[in-house]
Amino acid sequence: MSEHVPQVHGHCDARFDAVRTAFEENFRDRDELGAAVTVTVDGVTVADLWAGWADPARTRPWERDTLVNVWSTTKGPTALCAHILADRGLLDLDAPVAAYWPEFAAAGKENVLVRHLLSHRAGLAGLREPHSLEQLYDWDLTTARLAAMEPWWEPGTRSGYHALTYGFLVGEVVRRVSGLLPGAFLEREVTGPLGIDFTIGLPEKEAGRAAELVHPRAADASEQAKVFAQLAPAAIAALANPAAGAAEACTPAWRAAEIPAANGHGTARAVAALYGVLAGRGSFGGRRVLSAEAAERVREGQGACRDLVLGAGFPHETEIGLGLWLSGPNGSYGPNPRAIGHEGFGGSCGLADPDAGVSLGYVMNRMGPHIADDPRKTALVGALYSVL
């Protein structure tokens, strides 16, 4: 803990002072280093705050436009790409994946549906054969191995978090249908037209704006290791084949790759805008990205269960919609059980609550040890809903 709270920059409407207070408390009580949080209500930004440091040496202040790798918070924008194609009638979520990606039918996967990819139910949570980071950076190799592999469990029956493979599976379907990888598709269809400061991967010219990720402290890391020790083979494959952490995510090779499940880079403002498309029932900033029906489909629950990958870290059942997690009875994304969101390794978060018209983006560089529900995120979400 630290009594020192760095100067908080940005603006916050008086009604949402509780969010500013929680943000300040994250620095004082929860070991925050550098971070930003943005909240929108009905598409209007009501809080946009940043503070702290972009590097562990505390030589670079966190600025208004500081970018950071948000890990799995990237999965929301990647799912959005698939939903845009479905909304246009170019992709059928109930069709077999092999209808768009014929090679995928190998090893008994001919009946795996597109919706199974979006909801982490394809049984392909991680590759069975050793897969290095360098191989992960090779799109064609990674997708070919996924197409050839046998599922870990019967597809469609249970969710098992596809930590890294999700982006290649959904992303290859996006590529087969649109001709573009998810990063280029997202830029063409969403971030470019809406002026959202978010990319999958990080262009070299933007490296100077990127915050440096910092590993969890040693005591936190040992707790994380205890959780990993309980994992089944499919979970180990999902979370550690290959293993990647703060150091790897700060390398030029990671940033240059296309990893649509894990290497999105953006500001809190950008995350709030992307999730704001769903909070706005398909519209944000006066632009319609999805029809209201397509936006609603994203939070169509696919069945609650103990997740086959994350079950060791969760004391309760969870439910994934078509690309995002439902807040559910445990309230991960606020008290509305049908609010949706996604968290990134270490703590970042995107949240969308269409019923309240609210979105939230939270990004940071000191990674925590929690699989989900990082205390910093939980404090911000709790503060937001305390004033709604």
CA separation for the pair 158, 266 (Å, rounded): 32
pLDDT for 369 equals 87
pLDDT classification of 223: cutoffs 50, 70, 90 = low
Question: How is 202-240 classified by DSSP, letter by letter?
Answer: --GGGGGGBPPPBPPPHHHHHHHHHHHTT--HHHHHHHH
Structure tokens at 212: 């440096």
Structure tokens at 156: 């469609």
DSSP 189: I
Q: For residue range 274-333, what is the model confidence (pLDDT) as tens digits?
A: 999 999 999 999 999 999 999 999 999 999 999 999 887 777 899 999 999 999 999 999
pLDDT for 24 equals 98
Q: Which of 334, 380, 372 is nearest to 355 (CA)?
A: 334
Task: Using alpha carbons, list the distances in angstroms from residue 101 to 15, 36, 64, 70, 109.
Answer: 50, 39, 41, 28, 11
Tell me if 341 sits within 8 A of 352, measured CB to CB: yes
**Active site residue: 2, 72, 132, 222, which one?**
72
pLDDT for 104 equals 98
Structure tokens at 65: 């436009």
Query: Is the pLDDT higher at 218 or at 259?
Result: 259
Tell me if 167 sits within 8 A of 125, measured CB to CB: no
Residue 231 has pLDDT above 80, yes or no: no
Average pLDDT, the chain: 95
Structure tokens at 374: 């990082």
Q: 72 an active-site residue?
A: yes
Q: Which of 273, 378, 270, 274 is nearest to 331 (CA)?
A: 378
Question: What share of the chain has pLDDT > 90, as a percent?
Answer: 90
Torsion of CA 224, 318, 339, 111, to 10 degrees: 110
pTM exceeding 0.85: yes
Residue 229 has pLDDT above 80, yes or no: no
Tell me if 262 sits within 8 A of 74, measured CB to CB: yes
Q: For residue range 26-44, what is the model confidence (pLDDT) as tens digits?
A: 999 999 999 999 999 999 9
Q: Which domains does the chain have, with CATH numbers?
A: 9-78+183-386 (3.40.710.10)
CA separation for the pair 362, 26 (Å, rounded): 12
